[in-house]
Chain A
Amino acid sequence: MNDHVPSAVPALEIIDVSRIHGRGDAAVHALRGLHLTVMPGELVAVMGPSGSGKSTLLNLAGGLDQATAGRVRVQGEELGSLSRSDLARVRRRRVGYVFQDFNLIPSLTAAENVALPLELDKVRTRTAMQQARAALDEVGLGGLYDRFPDDVSGGQQQRIAIARAIVGERTLILADEPTGALDSETGEQVLALLRARCDAGAAALLVTHEARHAGWADRVVFLRDGAVVDEAGSTVSPEAFLSGGLR
């Protein structure tokens, strides 16, 4: 699962997407004509004040919510035109989620938690567990297959959650403040892990309010009132940046 072939098909395309909650005077425009493309290998961070539409964006990207207008494509498949069961298939096979509070099932071992989305997809248990163990190896938890979430540290729990997000052939990782419950150093390790996954060919959309975490991204988009108002992306080499001196 490390051999992602770089392809020209975007991992995620958000095309002129609007999302309006409610109607008439009570209508809330969560997103207004938003455009965003994430290519394989890219880590894109989304920053913005609360209420700017960050979570709505993630929910739409993962097919958990439907756009009022516009199109959302995951690896070229347009979510709005899929049947319920096809949408569920895309969600299960292509998209991995990482949440702030890990969302692990306490009565399942690390490997069983990671294997769960595969088993829901009717992959045979034996194969699912093999892939789960490979994913755990990848996030540096090779020795903890049989441990329960409560028996490992917060950082390790989040690593299990990341393994679950990348297990099988998932190539789009959606992360909503994944380091919110972790200390600064552990948070950095989680970000380094996401970065490594993207360097290996996956794509990730990361919602964060932490500048140091956004620093791991290739691009940072700033949302305000449901629209992208600005973008940061470094074009100079870090060495050139340093020789210019800090402010």
Chain B
Amino acid sequence: MSIRHGLLALLEREPMYGYQLRSEFDTTTGSTWPLNVGQVYTTLARLERDGLVSPGEEDEEGRTRYAITEAGREELQGWFATPVITADRPRDELAIKLALAVTVPGVDVGAVIQRQRAATITAMQDLTRLKKGGDPEDLSWTLVLESMRYQLEAEVRWLDHCEAALARAAAQRTRRDGADNPTTTTGARP
């Protein structure tokens, strides 16, 4: 996702000026993606250049409200109509970390997995407390919060899977080594 689409979506509600966009973005995403006002103005300038928004008259306080254009509306509809493809997202540092961990000698992969699991569950506890204390009527916020909780859940399931795969690999290695070496080890190296 780009900030452009986020701003276009907000402007579809009503024309707004930069600072207002920033605080609305913050509210709608539950502060999960903090923007600085500079990013907002840079993005607005690009949207204006591309004809997706148009600035209105300056008000008495010197603020300019931006409105979405017809082209902006089309762009926004196209964005909502296009699924998010995993490959478009930033690379997953955790997956890369584990992929490397199993190839680097001397790394206790099981411990890496458990540390991650504990951290992920702790994050889940934090989000669950937010959910408990939050306003269930605030649908945008609830959806963002649940998205994060489901992501954490998926991460823990994946960690469980990694651990099971690791145990299987270790068992296989033990069997293989056992054939020619009676003093086997149960490490986590491939």
Contact = CB atoms under 8 A, between A and B. Distances in A.
A27 interface: no
Contacts of A220: 118, 121, 125
A245 B123 CA distance: 11
Interface residues on A, range: 20 to 34
Nearest to B150: A212
B34 A245 contact: yes
A212 B129 contact: no
B126 to A, nearest CB: 4
Consensus secondary structure, chain A interface:
mixed
A209 B157 CA distance: 9
A243 B34 contact: yes
B118 A238 contact: no
Contacts of A239: 130
A217 interface: yes
Nearest to B163: A49
Contacts, number: 86
A5 interface: no
A238 B32 CA distance: 12
Contacts of A148: none
A47 B156 CA distance: 11
Given A211-B153, A211-B157, A215-B128, A242 B32 contact: yes
Contact of A233 (B34, B122, B149): B122
A47 to B, nearest CB: 8
Best-surrounded residue of B93, B119, B123, B157 (most CB of chain A within 10 A) = B123
A228 to B, nearest CB: 12
B120 A211 contact: yes
A195 B121 contact: no
Interface string A216-234: 1110101000000111111
A84 interface: no
Given A211-B120, A212-B124, A245-B32, A234 B129 contact: yes
A211 B32 contact: no
A233 B148 CA distance: 18
B117 A222 contact: yes
A26 interface: no
A203 B188 CA distance: 38
A243 B125 contact: no
Contact of A195 (B94, B114, B126, B132): B132
Contacts of B122: 232-234
Contacts of B33: 245
Nearest to A235: B122
Given A232-B118, A246-B148, A211 B130 contact: no
A245 to B, nearest CB: 7
Contacts of B70: none
A219 to B, nearest CB: 9
Contacts of A49: 160, 163-164
Interface of A: 47, 49, 192, 195, 209-212, 214-218, 220, 222, 229-234, 236, 238-239, 241-243, 245-247
7 contacts: A217-B125, A220-B121, A222-B117, A230-B117, A230-B118, A238-B133, A242-B31
Interface of B: 30-34, 93-94, 114-115, 117-130, 132-133, 148-150, 152-153, 155-157, 160, 163-164
